[in-house]
Amino acid sequence: MRLPDEPDIPTQINIVPMIDVIFAILTFFIMSTLFLTRSEGLPVNLPKAAMAQQQASSAPITVTLDQTGTLSLNRKQISLDELAQEVRVLIGSNSEGLVIINADERVKHGQVVAVMDRLRRVQGAKLAIATQKP
């Protein structure tokens, strides 16, 4: 019960805590989108190409040759002899599959050609070489 001599205090909504929460949520979304880039291959130093084009594909198959010459298929180490068979299995019933070759710029040209030669034997495999813009 109020006493008659008390002045009426206007109702206030303090929005400072709400602004703090909004900024915290905004920061979370900004930081989480920075980590949404998906890298299928292993980290390698890609060669630079000024005329590189983006390839459209739903689920590319990534073959990686690191600087030591180690071969990986979708981040799983594999031998050169098993490569064609494993890519055939991954392409499966699809008529075509994009196979991206991530080769470190210090890998010998002959190793990249050997990988490409094995992949060209796979029916429906479309080859692409990953590069970065200079």
Residue 42 lies inside a defined structural domain of this protein: no
CA distance 18 to 79: 57
Q: What is the pLDDT of residue 51?
A: 63
Q: What is the pLDDT of residue 26?
A: 95
Residue 50 lies inside a defined structural domain of this protein: no
Q: Which pTM was predicted?
A: 0.57
- Would you give the end-to-end CA distance of the chain in angstroms? 76
Residue 117 lies inside a defined structural domain of this protein: yes
Q: What is the pLDDT of residue 52?
A: 60
Q: Which residues pair with 101 in a beta bridge?
A: 63, 129
pLDDT tens digits, one per residue of 21-55: 999 999 999 888 877 765 555 666 666 666 666 65
Domain that holds residue 124: 61-129
Helix 80-91, helix 109-120: angle, nearest 10: 40
Residue 54 lies inside a defined structural domain of this protein: no
Q: What is the pLDDT of residue 25?
A: 95
Residue 56 lies inside a defined structural domain of this protein: no
**CATH code for the domain of 85:** 3.30.420.270
Q: In the chain, how many domains are there? A: 1
Residue 113 lies inside a defined structural domain of this protein: yes
| CA distances, 60 to each of 17, 36, 76, 127 (Å) | 46, 17, 15, 10
Residue 44 lies inside a defined structural domain of this protein: no
Q: What is the pLDDT of residue 42?
A: 60
Quick check: 109 and 47 in contact, CB under 8 A? no
Residue 71 lies inside a defined structural domain of this protein: yes
Q: What is the pLDDT of residue 43?
A: 66
- Written as tens digits, the pLDDT of the chain (134 aa) is 556 677 777 778 888 889 999 999 999 998 888 777 655 556 666 666 666 666 555 578 888 898 888 898 888 899 888 888 888 888 877 777 888 888 888 888 888 899 889 888 888 888 888 877 77
Q: What is the pLDDT of residue 21?
A: 92
